[in-house]
Amino acid sequence: MAETAKTAVLQEETRIFNTPQWIIEHSNSFQWMKKKGFKTEMEMRAWCSENYVDFWDEMAQSYADWYKPYDQILDDSKNPYFKWFLGGKINVAYNAVDRHAKSWRKNKVAYYFEGEPVGDKKAITYYELYRAVNKMANGLKSLGVEKGDRVSVYLPMIPELPITMLACAKIGAIHSVVFSGFSAGGLNSRVTDAESKVVVTSDGFYRRGKPLPLKPNVDTAVQDAPSVKNVVVVKRTGVATDMVEGRDIWYQDLVAAQSDECVTEELDPEDRLFILYTSGTTGKPKGIEHAHGGYSVAPAYTTAWALDVQEDDVFWCTADAGWITGHSYVIYGPLCLGATSILYEGSPDFPNLGRWWSIIEEYGVSVFYTAPTAIRMFMKAGDQWPAKYNLKCVRILASVGEPLNPEAYMWFRKNIGADQAPIIDTWWQTETGCHVIAPLPMTPEKPGSVAFPLPGFNTDIFDEEANSVPLGYGGNIVQKTPWPSMLRAFYKDEIRYKKEYWEMYWDVKPGTYLAGDKATRDKDGYWWIQGRIDDVLKVAGHRISNAEVESAAVSHPKVAEAAVIGKPDEVKGETIVAFVIVKEGVEETEDLKKEVAKHVRTVLGPVAYPESVYFVKDVPKTRSGKIMRRVVKAKALGKPVGDTSALANPESVEMIPLIG
């Protein structure tokens, strides 16, 4: 870290793209700027950040309805346990569903659901969503779920996923969505940590034309999860499914018996809305907690300002709701705005690489938000696929999850955005709950840069001593002031929360949030993200912990130890490579390599599958036994390994093969 803080970084990108005036003038943020009388974008950004408490107050009034107005906007007296909107009463489900179902938006489409099998489609209006949410909320209540109880949601991207999340929110239960690409092991650790009462899943889902089972993972995962009283199963594919008498119930049967009216709980803004497990540096996933008040405000504000979603737009965020992007920009942000979104179940390349573009054409998608890994996959496949479709409807493009390299930026701009749509590259995290650094439609763009911190944020780049680094220098991304959709704690672990995010600068500048990413600013002040400071992998945009993959590998009976690194990959950003030490007397065979990779897939899920496995006799470690993944990675990729003086076993470095 110290190295980066001292190194001046020259950004070579000199291209600047200006958004057409009609897109700028039509944009929500531009109109707000004009209304307030700011002369320039930078003047507006600066004012909103300096006056962040007033700014968030205005956003909370503009984007959310309150059962009872709050008396205090922010309580920062117990730093870093910040509280927002004290004394108010609210529920995000009211803001996302009820108020629209009771307004002129009643028959407006909330979701166009597009199943993977071609032709499997359904439009769901706000009124239909309201009734479905009420039925499920009553269904959960009938199973004994009460305010504060946890419900794990392990579903593919089908309408029952948002419906279940909103049903939990409605009754004050806390949802914990687990990405369906995790398997039994990944699900088990997340269900047991949350002590969930109910797991909601489906019999299966469609992937690349095939119905695949999902429920068997739940059966394995809940075997030693004593908190789980019921498993609710959505019938999606109709595959034969074992149901455990007294524990399992079909979703369709559960809701059929319920009333379509259900009272929405009037909650304290700090009442927890959800837990979402994310990866950190240890093998134990962190249960990030988010609150109702903040989530009723910040996702809606950023959906309106950064993504510029408007009343008559058709918005498509391709993220799975198992990750934070889905929570904020498939569910809460667009629904709180009363917007129309696409919900797509399947993979981008089924039945062929034209599927996404055919959906954009068919529904007239005007705002399209996706990930660099997908853009690079399409770029590799060739321009002919999008060229077959009419994509003139697209006004705004956006990206998230990892750096959008300039080449992919240019391809996206030219082939999907008709060389005119701005590309809103949004930097944020599970922890932040909403976009933090991003261009607005009016911002002149530099390909590969995330532009500037958004209005309302005081984001900076610090060196080790908590000094803001000058332009051209790199350092740690920090937040100097709180924001409404910030993480509140780790579930059952407030101490680790304080230690991981707030301790670094506590003595000098208490209340400084350490994001865990490095960045630099160029001579014009544009921000460039340089990657994580810790051992966290980004595989196809999915956040996976090296340590979690290592512990899955070590759970194989023949494996003694493992070190996992990310290998740069043109399409996925990174792929997983495992260096494995086998137990005494075990033969190192090609078959065993495959077995270990398969084992990790079984334990954690396809999302954590190691692309390659290498056998080694030892891995570099510190004297306290910590694997030095930085050294393993440098040696494997043929880069300088740097200082190895802290190693207990420097000879092990030579044993790491070059992986090419």
Residue 520 DSSP SS3: strand
Minimum distance from CB of 325 to ligand PRX (Å)?
Answer: 5
Minimum distance from CB of 177 to ligand PRX (Å)?
Answer: 13
Are the C-beta atoms of residues 570 and 380 closer than 8 Å to each other?
yes
Choose between 529 and 596: whose C-beta lies nearer to ligand PRX.
529
Q: How many Å apart are CA 51 and CA 306, to the nearest integer?
A: 19
Choose between 115 and 541: whose C-beta lies nearer to ligand PRX.
541
Give, to the nearest 10 degrees, the angle between helix 372-381 and helix 406-415. Answer: 70
Minimum distance from CB of 647 to ligand PRX (Å)?
Answer: 27
Q: Up-side HSE of residue 116: CA atoms within 13 Å toward CB?
A: 22
Choose between 149 and 517: whose C-beta lies nearer to ligand PRX.
517
Minimum distance from CB of 182 to ligand PRX (Å)?
Answer: 14
Tokens of 314: 């058709």
Choose between 228 and 319: whose C-beta lies nearer to ligand PRX.
319
Residues in touch with ligand PRX (CB under 6 A): 278, 323-325, 400-403, 425-430, 450, 516-517, 529, 532, 543
Nearest Cα neighbor of 553 from 540, 562, 545, 566 is 562
Q: Are strands 248-250 and 230-234 parallel, antiparallel or unpaired?
A: parallel
Minimum distance from CB of 530 to ligand PRX (Å)?
Answer: 9
Choose between 278 and 652: whose C-beta lies nearer to ligand PRX.
278
225 residue type, one letter: A
Minimum distance from CB of 540 to ligand PRX (Å)?
Answer: 11
Q: Name residues whose C-beta falls within 8 Å of residue 314's C-beta, 6 or more positions apart in sequence.
A: 112, 340, 341, 342, 363, 364, 365, 366, 367, 393
Choose between 231 and 529: whose C-beta lies nearer to ligand PRX.
529
In three-state form (DSSP H/G/I as H, E/B as E, the rest C), the secondary structure along 492-503 is CCHHHHHHHHHC
Minimum distance from CB of 390 to ligand PRX (Å)?
Answer: 28
Minimum distance from CB of 517 to ligand PRX (Å)?
Answer: 5
Choose between 109 and 408: whose C-beta lies nearer to ligand PRX.
408
Minimum distance from CB of 394 to ligand PRX (Å)?
Answer: 19
Q: How many distinct helices (H) and strands (E) make up the chain? A: 24, 27
Q: How many Å apart are CA 154 and CA 185, to the nearest integer?
A: 13
Burial class (CB in 10 A: 0-12, 13-18, 19+), 642: exposed
Q: Name residues whose C-beta falls within 8 Å of residue 270's C-beta, 6 or more positions apart in sequence.
A: 83, 84, 86, 291, 292, 293, 488
- Rounded to a whole number of angstroms, the CA Rg of the chain reads 24
Choose between 57 and 517: whose C-beta lies nearer to ligand PRX.
517
Burial class (CB in 10 A: 0-12, 13-18, 19+), 257: exposed
Choose between 218 and 436: whose C-beta lies nearer to ligand PRX.
436
